[in-house]
Amino acid sequence: MSNRSSEAREETLGRLRSALQKQQALFRDSIGRDLSDPPMTVFPPPQDRSLVESFTARLTALSGSCDVVRQGEDVGERVVHRIRQWVPAGVAESIEVLSWEAGELHVAGLEQTLAEADITLFAPEELQEQSVRNHAAALAVGITGVTAAFANTGSIVLTPGPGRSRAAGLLPLNHLVLVPLSRLHPTFEAWLLALRQQGGLEALVRDSGQIAFIAGPSKSADIELNLTLGVHGPKVVHAIVFDDT
């Protein structure tokens, strides 16, 4: 590398380092608009249904499915029931599922309930080793929580990070999504507004190596518009909505 090229490279890197150290705002000001104003939405929020009913209907329309855990019902038992539907006892007495760490799923006692049903969670810290990737890819079920879910579209947001492997929502054939009511929002825009009012929007963007938006199972269609599920990701997406208050 010539001296001239080396100097240009160092100058460019110096500019990048200086920009990163300043930690400038990621977003413009609200252009004089009061942040408490209702946000303008692409898809209108549900009017004649509850958030849960709307989320269930929209996810079903996207080829997904949803269970709602009522007061007094056990979330862990519902999770076991769903996993056993996908992997019957006759196929495997002991089941391992690719998962976020138990603490990131926000269901008290879930790991113990699963263990009593001979189901264990595999939550890899990283997937650098080929043997770990192969093991993760061989599992039929993935379990994740959500960063947010939206009633008007039936879609969810996942932000992978420590204890929240992105592979759990991408590799397995069956994706089980645990949705606490506290993370179910009327619209995507309402969620962004709440984050901004709480001062958490920039932190979410800066701290997230990847933000995944999931709208039902993976879908692909050929030139004749024949729809196929599960080509580039899970073939089945099932949500369990529960009250975490």
Residues 55 and 184 sit within 8 Å (Cβ to Cβ): yes
What is the token pair recorded at 101? 């760490």
Q: What is the pLDDT along the chain (245 residues), one digit of tens a residue?
A: 567 778 888 889 888 888 777 766 665 555 555 555 656 777 777 777 899 999 999 999 999 999 999 877 899 999 999 999 998 766 667 899 999 999 999 999 999 999 999 999 999 988 889 999 999 999 999 999 999 999 999 999 999 888 999 999 999 999 999 999 999 999 999 999 899 888 888 888 888 778 899 998 888 877 877 878 778 889 999 999 999 87
In a domain, 64, yes or no: yes
Residues 196 and 25 sit within 8 Å (Cβ to Cβ): no
Residues 190, 158: Cα–Cα separation, whole Å: 17
pTM assigned to the model: 0.82
Other beta carbons less than 10 A from residue 162's beta carbon: 9
In a domain, 17, yes or no: no
In a domain, 195, yes or no: yes
In a domain, 141, yes or no: yes
pLDDT of amino acid 23: 63
Residues 138, 147: Cα–Cα separation, whole Å: 26
pLDDT of amino acid 26: 61
In a domain, 28, yes or no: no
Residues 170 and 207 sit within 8 Å (Cβ to Cβ): no
Residues 211, 93: Cα–Cα separation, whole Å: 35
DSSP H helices in the chain:
3-22, 51-61, 75-86, 110-116, 130-137, 188-198, 201-207
pLDDT of amino acid 90: 65
Residues 238 and 175 sit within 8 Å (Cβ to Cβ): yes
In a domain, 208, yes or no: yes
Q: Mind spelling out the 3-state secondary structure of 27-79?
A: CCCCCCCCCCCCCCCCCCCCCCCCHHHHHHHHHHHCCCEEEECCCCCCHHHHH
Residue 150, domain CATH? 3.40.50.10420
- Determine the structural domain holding residue 223 and report its residue range: 45-242
In a domain, 188, yes or no: yes
In a domain, 186, yes or no: yes
pLDDT of amino acid 104: 94
Residues 151, 56: Cα–Cα separation, whole Å: 8
Q: Strand pairing partners for 66?
A: 239
**What burial class does residue 210 get, using C-beta atoms within 10 Å of its C-beta: 0-12 exposed, 13-18 middle, 19+ buried?**
exposed
Domains in the chain, number: 1
